[in-house]
Structure formats: C-alpha cells, structure tokens
Amino acid sequence: MEELGVGFSYFKERSRNFFKLISGWHFLAFLLYLILTIPFVEFLVSSSLLENLYIPNFISGELVKSTNGKVIYYGLYIILAYLNLRFIYALPLAVSQNEQRFAHHMKTSWQLTQGKKFFRLFGIGIIALAVIAIVGLLSGFGITLAALVDGSDKTFWVETLFLSYVWGVLFAGRLAFKLTSLSYLLKGFEHEKIQNQFTGERKKQHRLLALTGLLVAIGGINFTYNALKTSGEPSKDLAIIAHRGMVSQGVENSLESLEAAAKAGATYSEMDIILSKDGHFIVSHDDNLKRLTGKNISISKSQAKDVLGLKIKQSGHQSKIVSFEEYVAKAKQLGVKLLVELKPAGNEPDNYEQLFVDKMKELNIDSSYLVMSADLKTIEKVKQLDPTIQSGYTISFQLGDFTSQKVDFYAIEDFSYNEFLARRAHQNGKKIYVWTVNSRDDIQRYLETSTDGIITDYTVTVRKIEKELSSDDNYLDYFLRLTDLSWIEKL
C-alpha cells in the first residue's frame, strides 16, 4: 500500500506540473500541437481517449474525389508530416522537463531538428524496421503453428489461446515501437535526470513487480476478452448499403454504378436527389454540377431539360445525369431497393415535401425503400405527410443523445458513432446506420457491432469480409486476416 501511495503521489505531481506548463496562453500552443498531430497521432500515441481523434472520413473522402481536392489533401499531409517531425521532441520535453512552458519546448524541438540534426530522426525508421523484423519472426512462428493445427478440430481453449497469442504479438510490437521511439527521442538531447521516490534497489524491485503485475493483468484481460469472443454468437447480418451506387464501377449516382451495386449484392443502393427549378427531382449529390460535369450549373436554379442528359465524368468513368423516375425504374428492373437522400438546396417551394411524397406514390414505391435527409425539418415533414415511409435523419456530427424521435432510423457519420448511441437508438425502437465505412479495419469492426447497417463505397469488400467472419475458417486464414497479411495467399 505504501508503494501504491507513493506511485499515486508521483503521478499526481507529474500531472500537476504538466497542466501548469500548458496553462495560460501556452494552452494555445499545446492546442496547435494537438491539431498538427491529429493525422499522425496513432503512430506514437494510442489510447481509448485518442481513438476518435482523427479527420472525419466524410471530409477527407469528399476532398479526394476531385483532382484539386487531392492536391490540397495530400499537400496538407506533406506539410503536416514535416511540421510533426520538426515538433517531435515537444511532448517528450514537456514530460521530462517541467521547468519550461510548452511553447518553449516547441521552440527547442524546432532547433533540435534544424539542418543536419533533422536526419537524426531516421533513427526512428531503423527502430521501426527492427520491430517489424521481430514481429515478423513471431508472426512466422504463429503462422507455422497455425498451419500445424490447421485441419484439426478446433477446441475452445486452443482457439482462445491462439487469438490471445495474435493479440499479444501485435500489442507487444506496437508498444515496443512506441516506447523505443520515445526513449530514442529522450536521448536525443540533454535533460535533467528525473529524481523521484522510486530510486533505490528496493524501489526498483517494487517497480519490477508492479510492471509484471500490470503485464499479467493485461494478459488476463486479453485472454478473458478472447474467451468471450470465441464463445459468443456469430455477428448478425447487417444491411450493406452502396454509397451512391458502386463508385468503383461507375460515376456516383449513375445507372452504371446502380447496376454494379445490385450485382455486388447490396441490400440498398443509396442515392441523392435535388429539385430543379421547374419541380423535377434530379439524381445528383451536388446542386452545383461543376465537380462532375465541368460546368458551373446549379440544378435548383435550372430547368430539368437543361441538366438531364449532361455528361458526367469521375475516376475514368462516364455517364449522364438522369431523373428520379428513370433511376427508380432501373432499380426496380434490377431488383435492388433504394435509400433516397433528399438534398434541399435552400430555395425549394413550400410544398417541397408534398411534391416528394406525391412522386413516391406516383412511382408506386412501397415502404421497403428508405428515405433520409440531413435537414431534420424536411424529413420530419415527409414522415408527417406519409407515416408509411421509412424515414431517417442524416447526421454528420453528433454530440449527446439523438434529438428527434419522429424518424425511424438515424444515418450517422463514422466519426460520431459509438455503442452508447446505438443502444439508445434501439431502446427507442430506431435503427442506426453508419456512413461512410471504407477501410478494411472499419468494415470488420462495424460488422461486429450492434449497428443495423453500413453505408460504403466498397460493397464487394464488405460482402467478402462478412463471409470471412461468418465462415468456419482455419487458424491460418484467421491469423492472416488479423495481421492483415491475407495478400500472402495470393502469392
């Protein structure tokens, strides 16, 4: 208990000193530092507190859909990467030296990385290569072990131990890289030797015991988690929603991308509609058509005849702008349901919602279709006019609980999703969908959550991962998937 009290006092003192050095206007310097590190924070620091500290996918995803956007996006990344390297010593200095304020540590870091000193940072690359080599050897042992047991009957304990081993290798590799990198940085400059109450042989022994106990606790939690995961039920089927069709096979919101989504087995194909000046619904995500047509034309300010049939280009694909009627007819022919997103431009007539409801009835669209909008008043009015329509609220940023209980579902951006919100939605009888889920890690994660569906640009990939998770595959396949080494099977 004495050692625990000493440890707590030390932690309390260090925390107080750290908050002191970022107090006042120095907090602005610290905030600037955090903003600069957002795209790269997981390389040196990762925790549950920082797992949602990243650029939302709907921002970065939209930027890279145009040439100018790609130049801006990747140009900013290069600049931020350079600034991160120049300020890489700031946080280690702040932790080890409490005499100076945070802005001073940023200045010192800049000086420590100027000129030839900058090349010292290549040492981190060498550390990374060494860690990768060690993890590779351990992974090779795991793959060999997996190959040996492959084909034998899986038992609960063997599978649990295997999953625990995989997690342990990955965890140890990341931890070793981060700790070794931080140690390397700390040795890159002269700093005062930290005097604390843990010095002395007896205290060192207690610290060793404490570290051993911590590792045992982490291992126990890991084993328990994998035991529960192994004994649990397979993930339920989710609605796989193609984002604006399947954009890898056609221009977004085109008939070609819709057809590709249907062939890929999408549960729904999401699409967007905007009302033209003369009251026709046009299939398009943007009101201004310059991004896809190269022409500075706004749908909401144009006659339908002036925009329908315009050639659109994207990622090497070509198509044309079509009407809502033509799109629905194609969807019915293909046998795929639609998730229709209403995109009011701000100058719609007062009967905008009624026009849409009437159009749904005219096209004989049943309640199997979903309708959503980022404009809450619009979607609530649609629901009021026709309660049979499955209506949803599109949410980019969500703080706190859901505000509307009049809709049937919520479509929430990946950045704001959490299991608490999902449970709250289900408790209120609502469904929750997540957009836009594209990375393999995110796809696998959401397939194992309580969300009701994911909106993605990669329907085929989702179906493939869904099959992998639900199939009774062998240990080797599972190991390769966990370590993202599935490419080995293609060699």
Note the pLDDT tens digit of each residue in 124-178.
Answer: 788 888 888 888 788 778 767 766 765 555 566 666 676 677 777 777 887 788 7
User: Higher pLDDT residue, 204 or 432?
Assistant: 432
Which one of 200, 231, 262 terminates a domain? 231
187/249 same-domain check: no
* Lowest model confidence (mean pLDDT) among 343-347, 409-413, 449-453, 468-472: 468-472
202 shares a domain with 63: yes
Same domain, 89 and 139: yes
- Average of per-residue pLDDT across 463-471: 79
- What phi-psi label fits residue 23: left (phi over 0), alpha (psi between -120 and 50 degrees) or beta? beta
Would residue 490 count as lying in a domain? no
Domain boundaries, position 440: 239-457
CA 364 to chain centre: 37
The answer to the question of residue 186 being in a domain is yes
Q: How far apart are CA 450 and CA 431, in angstroms?
A: 10
Closest CA to 329 of 276, 255, 269, 382: 255
User: Looking at the structure, do residues 274 and 415 belong to the same domain, yes or no?
Assistant: yes
Using an 8 Å Cβ cutoff, are 409 and 370 in contact? yes
Domain termination site, one of 181, 209, 231: 231
Is the Cβ–Cβ distance between 188 and 112 less than 8 Å?
yes
- Average pLDDT, stretch 267-280? 98
Q: Is residue 473 part of a domain?
A: no
Residues 264 and 389 in one domain: yes
Could you tell me if 334 and 223 lie in one domain? Answer: no
190 and 250 housed in the same domain: no
Question: Average of pLDDT values for 13-28?
Answer: 71
Share of residues in the chain with pLDDT > 90 (%): 37
Q: pLDDT band for 50, please (50, 70, 90 cuts).
A: very low
pLDDT on residue 73: 78
The answer to whether 151 and 74 have CB atoms below 8 angstroms apart is no
475 domain residue, yes or no:
no
| pLDDT, tens only, 358-395 | 999 999 999 999 999 999 999 999 999 999 999 999 99
pLDDT for 199: 44
254, 168: one domain: no
Q: What is the pTM of this model?
A: 0.66
Of all residues in the chain, what percent carry a pLDDT higher than 70? 70
Closest C-alpha among 462, 465, 466, 458 to residue 257: 458
210 & 323 share domain: no
Q: Which helix (H) or strand (E) holds 407?
A: none
Same domain assignment for residues 213 and 303 = no
Q: Could you tell me which of 268, 265, 267, 257 has the C-alpha nearest to residue 464? A: 265
Residue 462 lies in a domain: no
Domain boundary among 231, 266, 289: 231
Residues 169 and 252 in one domain: no
Q: Which of 80-94, 184-198, 375-389, 453-467 has the highest average model confidence (pLDDT)?
A: 375-389
Q: Is the Cβ–Cβ distance between 21 and 94 less than 8 Å?
A: yes
| Helix 352-362 and helix 376-385, axial crossing angle in degrees, nearest 10 | 50
CATH number at residue 370: 3.20.20.190
What is the pLDDT at residue 279?
Answer: 97
The answer as to whether 484 is a domain residue is no
Domain presence at residue 488 = no
In the chain, the number of structural domains is 2
Looking at the structure, do residues 227 and 376 belong to the same domain, yes or no?
no
Look at residue 7 and tell me whether its pLDDT is greater than 90: no
Q: How confident is the model at residue 71 (pLDDT cuts 50, 70, 90)?
A: confident
Query: What DSSP line would sit under 237-296, residue for residue?
Result: P-EEEETTS-TTSS-TTSHHHHHHHHHTT-SEEEEEEEE-TTS-EEE-S-SB-HHHHSS-
Answer yes or no: is 478 within a domain.
Answer: no
Q: Are 414 and 433 in contact (CB under 8 A)?
A: no
* Residue matched to tokens 């860690």: 131
